[in-house]
Chain A
């Protein structure tokens, strides 16, 4: 039995006469003990899926089970065994770190000491501030406290909605280390993120866009399914370079990627052809090299296909 099984989940929001289709028939499975990432830009429908799976939102059609319990019928069972960390910090700001933790432990009819081993590694980092009010903590501290509170009742499945949004690079890395430690303790983790570079840190990912899942698989599988040559190009005039590249019929797509432009080449075209073309258009100085595709490249290509 999978930890989370989602089948054709649909959620629509009505705003006035317009209907916003937030989630349009999404299906995926998460195996036990897996660290599963839902990756997509803002407005892809990630939060709606999480809110449905944590029984905060009723689906319009389709269904899902979490640890074998139906999200509509057995919602009470689910509330006993999932941990949820919403995107926005939502602990009591006027209670101290310690009080928040105790409060959430007690309403799950457990105690901090009972499951201390689970949160120990995280809690020791915020323990020096345990008498400080939660509202007075720094962003990274708040996030660690929120994770502790979501874990304190030893959930079977942990839902983390954009836990790393707005967090600095060092804290982000630390946070992912914590998640991998938790997975080793047997907790299934679903995490959503808008950052493509975090995909490679998950066991499996689902790439989402506009309420639909474009592909699911391990990061390696997704990258391997990318069957085009991809070249990174850099020149003095980056904007002009992109314009020139986009006019070229030998490419599938070109977009800026960090300090380079990534160019997806059509079949049969390679670096040599590229150099010739750029020389003929006044970019003889261009720095060109082949790169292995990343998840972001796959995402860009999948989006491109959707538009076609």
Chain B
């Protein structure tokens, strides 16, 4: 116990003496949490539109003003040449081309239907899909308006229309920041927990200090605990900073209790620390550890459900996500923050995370050798 205390003392001294580490630990969460939630927004805005109007009628103009009034679209070109519009797409000035055919108004009035052509630049998939669907719903809306104008007010509407209204539970205003901030916070805790810990141990190997430690009677578990505990504390410290920022800057009051978040984080940190330790046992230089960390971080982020819902991934990716500890914490964070889940509600996740912790730490401890 006494030995462990001295190891911890030494570890904390070193951490707080390294200005670079301190900057990373304190500045990284602050900057990321202040900047990223504003940028990482699912809503697609500023879709640039090129309109090819062959009709020049009242109706076509009404349609155009309705589209631009929606706030999602910016009119880039108003032209009569389709080729010119496509050219704009090629120059990346336009995302969507809408072609209004000749006799658009006439057809609509006389035959009650008129075609519209839409060409979408699919280089940015999300923008293309969402832009097209926004535009479609505007067309639909517009269509309904016109029909109502022309309808001769019969006693019973010959066409039944079903209108759907929705309300968003747990996040009534569909505020993306409420959704993103907890997720980003999870990534920060993960990064500090696993990668700083891995780099720290590998540094001892690289500098050679581990040799000097290995010839001493320090026990394996003492050395490992001496490394894990400081980063466990730092992880919780970052979580605290992050939660404070989300409360002060974004006004996010978790619907659930802070205690639930901390309880889960405490267990979760064991997993990421185990991962860091495992990386360090397989790497000999900080560069190697760094590259592996980058690789894992990409997987964690892209298959963690932060940006894209796991449920919409292909089956094999969902299986990978099942082994991604980050996905559990993101899920738990969102549940607790938005829905107010209690410890009992997230018991299955705690169970899985505990299992991860045992496997990773066991593997790392087994693979850590004081002699070669």
**Residues of chain A having any CB pair with chain B under 8 Å:** 54-58, 75-76, 79-80, 82, 84, 86, 88-95, 99, 103-104, 106-109, 149
Contact = CB atoms under 8 A, between A and B. Distances in A.
Given A55-B215, A104-B212, 5 more contacts: A79-B216, A88-B208, A92-B14, A94-B18, A107-B218
Interface stretch (B3-11, B36-44, B264-272): B3-11
Contacts of A109: 2-3, 217
Interface of B: 2-3, 6-7, 10, 13-14, 17-18, 207-218, 370-372
Contacts of A56: 211, 214-215, 370-372
A55 B371 CA distance: 7
A95 B13 contact: yes
Contact of B209 (A75, A91, A108): A91
A94 B215 contact: no
B224 to A, nearest CB: 15
Given A90-B208, A95-B14, A106-B6, A82 B215 contact: yes
Contacts of A108: 216-217
A173 B238 CA distance: 52
Contacts of A99: 10, 13
Q: Say whether chain B's binding surface is mostly helix, strand, loop, or mixed.
A: helix
Contacts of B17: 94
A104 B14 contact: no
B10 A103 contact: yes
Nearest to A106: B6
Nearest to A76: B217
Given A90-B212, A99-B13, A107 B7 contact: yes
The 8 closest A-B CB pairs, nearest first, are: A90-B208, A106-B6, A84-B215, A90-B212, A79-B217, A88-B208, A54-B215, A90-B209
B210 to A, nearest CB: 8
A106 B18 CA distance: 23
A90 B6 contact: no
Contact of B14 (A75, A89, A94): A94
Contact of A92 (B6, B10, B217, B218): B10
28 contacts: A55-B215, A55-B371, A56-B211, A58-B371, A75-B371, A79-B215, A79-B216, A82-B215, A84-B215, A86-B212, A89-B208, A90-B208, A90-B209, A91-B209, A92-B14, A94-B14, A94-B18, A95-B10, A95-B13, A95-B14, A99-B13, A103-B6, A104-B216, A106-B2, A106-B6, A107-B6, A107-B218, A109-B3
Most chain A CB within 10 A, of B3, B14, B214, B216, is at B216
Contacts of A107: 3, 6-7, 213, 216-218
Given A92-B209, A106-B6, A57 B372 contact: yes
Contacts of B18: 94
A76 B214 CA distance: 11
A17 B305 CA distance: 45
Contacts of B213: 107
Contacts of A55: 215, 371
B45 to A, nearest CB: 49
Nearest to B4: A107
A104 B214 CA distance: 12
A86 B10 contact: no
A95 B215 CA distance: 19
Contacts of B216: 79, 104, 107-108
Contact of B371 (A57, A80, A84, A103): A57
A85 to B, nearest CB: 9
Nearest to A161: B211
B304 to A, nearest CB: 34
Interface centre among B10, B18, B212, by most A CB within 10 Å? B212
Given A56-B371, A95-B13, A99-B13, A90 B215 contact: no
A90 B216 CA distance: 13
B14 A90 contact: no
A94 B371 CA distance: 25
B69 to A, nearest CB: 62
Nearest to A146: B212
B258 to A, nearest CB: 35
B23 to A, nearest CB: 15
A98 to B, nearest CB: 12
A108 B215 CA distance: 11
A238 B106 CA distance: 110
B207 A58 contact: no
Nearest to B209: A90
Nearest to A54: B215
A93 B207 contact: yes
A192 to B, nearest CB: 15
A79 B218 CA distance: 9
Contacts of B210: 90
A99 B6 CA distance: 11
Contacts of B215: 54-56, 79, 82, 84
A93 B18 CA distance: 11
Nearest to A58: B371
A91 B212 contact: yes
Contacts of A95: 10, 13-14
Contacts of B3: 106-107, 109
A91 B17 CA distance: 16
A47 to B, nearest CB: 11
A57 B369 CA distance: 10
A57 B371 CA distance: 5
Given A55-B371, A57-B371, A92-B10, A84 B217 contact: no
A140 B71 CA distance: 72
Contacts of B370: 56
B211 A90 contact: yes
B155 to A, nearest CB: 88
Nearest to A149: B212
A132 to B, nearest CB: 13
A175 B192 CA distance: 43
Contacts of A91: 209, 212
A76 B255 CA distance: 53
Given A93-B207, A103-B10, A109-B3, A80 B217 contact: yes
Contacts of A94: 14, 17-18
Nearest to B212: A90
